[in-house]
Structure formats: C-alpha cells, structure tokens
Amino acid sequence: MQKNTSELLEYLKRDKSKREVAMLRPLIYSIVKCGDNTDADAILTQYLSHPTDFHYSYLLLIFKAFGNHSMAEQIFNVSFHQGKLNENTDAEILEVLGCLKYEPIKQILATYIFEHTDTDYYISKYAVLGLLHFDCEAYQDKIEKAIENCYGKNLFPEFIPALVCKVKNKKTVLEKLYELGCEHASTDCNAGIILGFSLCGEEGKHYFRKVLFDRNWETSSTGTGTVYFAYEGLKKLDITFKELYLEIKTISDKDKLAYCIDVLFALLRRKIEDIEINPIEQFSDIYTALFQWKNKSESDTVTDLAARVDKTQEVYEIEKCIELKMIEEALLRNYKI
C-alpha cells in the first residue's frame, strides 16, 4: 500500500470543516496514477463507513480505476435500497458501477433513464454514462424513442443523445442530432450530443470534427462542462493536440483564429487536469508540436499564433503548465521502473 494512501486515510478522518479538496486531489491522483488494488481495498473500507460524506465522493475515481465485482457489490449495498439510490448518495455512483460492469445496476440505470423522465439532472446524466458500459440490445426501441423526444427542443435530458452509439442504424440519428445541436439545442444542453458523436467511431468523427471549432457549439465552455466532454471525445477518437494545432495554423481569419485558440487552450487545460493511465499523447509530444522552434532563427510556434490574437499571457501560462507536466512524466517513468 502506498504511503500516500495511508496519508489520505488519515486526512479523511479529520473533521469536515478541516478538510480541503485541494489537499485531497493530489493524494487521490497519485493513487490513481501509481496505486493498485491494495490501495483501493484499504480506501473502500473507510469509504463504506461514510458513503454520503461529500469529500468521500472524490474517492470514486480510485474505484473506477481499480474496482472489481466484489468492490462494486459493496458499494451497491450501501448506496441503494429497493432499487433506488439512497438519499444524499452521490449520483456518480451510477456511472462507477456501470464502469465496473456490475450487472445488477443495469436495469436500475435503464429505469432512471427511460421511466423517470422528470428525474434529477445528475441522476439522469450518470445513469446514461453508466449504461454506456453495457450491451443495450434489449433497449433499442426505448433508446430510439428517448432520442427522438429530444428533437426540436431547446432543453432536454442532456445526455440521452450519447446513447446514439447503441443504436444500430446510427447514420440517420447522427445527422438529426447534428441538426438538433445546430438549430435548436441550447449550448447549455449539448454535451451529450458531442459525447455521442465521439462514441460512434468513424461514423461520428465527421460530426465531432465539424462541431469542435464551431463557435455556435461553444465547445470551450467550462460553465456547463461542454469542454470536458469535448476533451473526452478527443481521447475516444484518438485525435491529438498536434493534429488540432496543425489545423488551426491554416486559419487566416483573425476572429476565427482567436476562437479556435480559445478552444485549443480550454482543451489543453483539461488535458493538464486529467489523470490518464495510458495517454495517447505525452506532454513532451505536445510541447514539441506546439512550442519547438522551426530552426534557430524561426520560431513558428503556437506562441506566435497566440500573439496574433492578443493571447500571449494565456499561452505562457499554458506553456509553464505543460513544462510541469513533463517533469511529472519524467518522474513517473522513473518511479514505475
């Protein structure tokens, strides 16, 4: 068991008023990056005694990383009663149990999605994110009807459209979801559409790329979390930051360039905050692609692009963060030998 795991367990024993999320996160992140099942088992024991404690909800990242059937069963037993999520229990548990493919949760997720249409936003969201991990052959008709109910609306259960990846005939549905996002859906309600595009592989990639730098979709928005699912989409479709940068470099219109750089920087910030076990793109690769000079006398970097649209301070902040992440990568390579 890691030293950080012991420290985390001791920290969680403090009174709630004396805990800080900023102190919890580094410990949790280090366990996800470098821990194993032993750490998760020790943390689960303490979690089960405090399942509704707000700070304990941050431990769910660890269970998603190292969980198994036994762990899922214990979490399920303290979180549900008669097929419903217990009061004050974090709705994210719905996604966690789906991620761990705990079969008894499957029908509960479907019930929340297809029968409780007026359910809490977060329960609806995490129920969909959980069901995405299961085979949905038995729910084909319900999924298609639920998605159809979103058409033409400004607001709807935001993550229902993500289930498009479970539909057999995706082509027509993808086109209609694109129209929904362009013509009707509020930008406060399009994250599920973006996620759905990214989960449909090559069929959805075309639409994902169309909306990523479309100002009308506001994929850089942090207020509603759209940028989070845009970033997740990059990973699911194996789209690198090098690809995005090369695309942006071709833009001549200043206003469009400024917006695309905003999106790029928002996605990079998500990358910096992310805890990836096996990233498709190392920070050293990103640094080389974006910041390495063309030659000794020509820069031709993202810093030059940022300067064209008055974003010099932002690009310097991004560069420093990437440099710190490269140090982390180097340390972790040594640690894992």
Q: What is the 3-state secondary structure (H, E, C) of the chain?
A: CCHHHHHHHHHHCCCHHHCCHHHHHHHHHHHHHHCCHHHHHHHHHHHCCCCCCHHHHHHHHHHHHHCCHHHHHHHHHHHEECCEECCCCCCCHHHHHHHCCCHHHHHHHHHHHHCCCCCCHHHHHHHHHHHCCCCCHHHHHHHHHHHHCCCCCCCCCCCHHHHHHHCCCHHHHHHHHHHHHHHCCCHHHCHHHHHHHHCCHHHHHHHHHHHHCCHHHCCCCCCCCHHHHHHHHHHHCCCCHHHHHHHHCCCCCHHHHHHHHHHHHHHHHHHHHCCCCCCCCCHHHHHHHHHCCCCCCCCCCHHHHHHHCCCHHHHHHHHHHHHHHHHHHHHHHHHCC
Task: Name the band, by pLDDT with cuts 50, 70 and 90, for residue 192.
Answer: very high
pTM across the whole model: 0.94
The answer to whether the Cα torsion of 262, 266, 268, 272 is positive or negative is positive
Q: What number of other Cβ atoms are within 10 A of residue 86's Cβ? A: 13
pLDDT tens column, 199-221 = 999 999 999 999 999 999 999 99
Using CA atoms, how far residue 292 sits from 284, 300, 304, 307, in Å, is: 10, 8, 11, 16
**Residue 1 pLDDT greater than 90, yes or no:** no
Name the percent of the chain lying above pLDDT 90: 91
Using CA atoms, how far residue 302 sits from 194, 204, 238, 241, 283, in Å, is: 26, 28, 21, 11, 15
Return the pLDDT at 25: 94
pLDDT tens column, 278-290 = 898 999 999 999 9
Return the pLDDT at 297: 86
Task: Name the band, by pLDDT with cuts 50, 70 and 90, for residue 337.
Answer: very low
pLDDT tens column, 261-278 = 999 999 999 999 999 888
Computed over every residue of the chain, the mean pLDDT equals: 95
Return the pLDDT at 336: 60
> 66 near 94, Cβ under 8 Å?
no
Name the percent of the chain lying above pLDDT 70: 99
Return the pLDDT at 139: 97
Average pLDDT over residues 118-130: 92
pLDDT tens column, 223-243 = 778 999 999 999 999 999 999
